[in-house]
Amino acid sequence: MTGFPRYALYFAAGADSTLSRFGAELLGYDAHTGGELSFPDDALHVAADWRDVSADPRKYGFHGTLKAPMALPPGRTEAELMAACAAFAGKARTMPTIRPVVDSISGFIAVIPAEPVGTLQEFAADCVRDFDSFRTPLSAEDRARRKPEKLSERQRDYLDRWGYPYVMEEFRFHMTLTGRLDAERRGPILEMLRARFATLGLDTLAIDRIALFKQDDARARFRIIGEWALKGFSASSRD
């Protein structure tokens, strides 16, 4: 299995933002501080087992994946990775902006773009390519864990090339709030999460920063060890 520590490049809203607090409270974990949080009453009301419902995303913290978790290859250091993050954030490009909604995606519930945004797809692809030299290649065991027999041909190609199948054309931005739920359970939980999200009044969301998350070992949660505001971006029209 891939070694530790592992690092991931994610989008995470600023620590003091309403979106960050929204996600951290629902997951019961703040990746900015590493602290535990009490679950909201409305979540516990709709699902008494909310701790289990939110267990999978809690391990990673509230985020949108840009470069999936990876261990560093020999010769690469955390300091070099952080320097690469700073350099990447300083490049001029169009800032992706989405209209965020809460919806179901592949059986779990997440904050997602209401419609596809080309600049976000391009930005995520840049992250995958630019940070690939910091990724230890997949071992045979790691590849098998991804169940390549259940992936499409393109997804298998991406798994072998980039270490993760859901990149490039297969990328779908999402900030996960629950594990996978059957349809019967999903309805009431989705209704509650949409109502809670509506109170934020968040009509647009700029993907305006990157965050470096670190997982020390297999039992640890990911935590933020660095974040960089994106520089030199121009305002973008919605795709």
Q: How do 209-215 and 6-11 pair as beta strands?
A: antiparallel
Integer Cα distance of 169 and 9 in angstroms: 18
Is residue 238 scored above 80 in pLDDT? no
pLDDT at 232: 57
Higher pLDDT, 238 or 92: 92
- pLDDT tens digit string along 176-201? 999 999 999 999 999 999 999 999 99
Integer Cα distance of 48 and 10 in angstroms: 30
Tokens 């797809």 correspond to what residue?
121
* pTM, full prediction: 0.94
pLDDT at 130: 98
- pLDDT tens digit string along 132-143? 999 999 999 999
The mean of the pLDDT values for the chain is 95
Residue-range domain boundaries for the chain:
6-229
Architecture of the CATH domain 6-229: Alpha-Beta Complex (3.90)
SS3 58: helix
93 and 208 Cβ atoms separated by less than 8 Å: no
Residue type for position 71: A
Integer Cα distance of 46 and 164 in angstroms: 34
User: Considering the chain, what percentage of its residues have pLDDT values greater than 90?
Assistant: 93
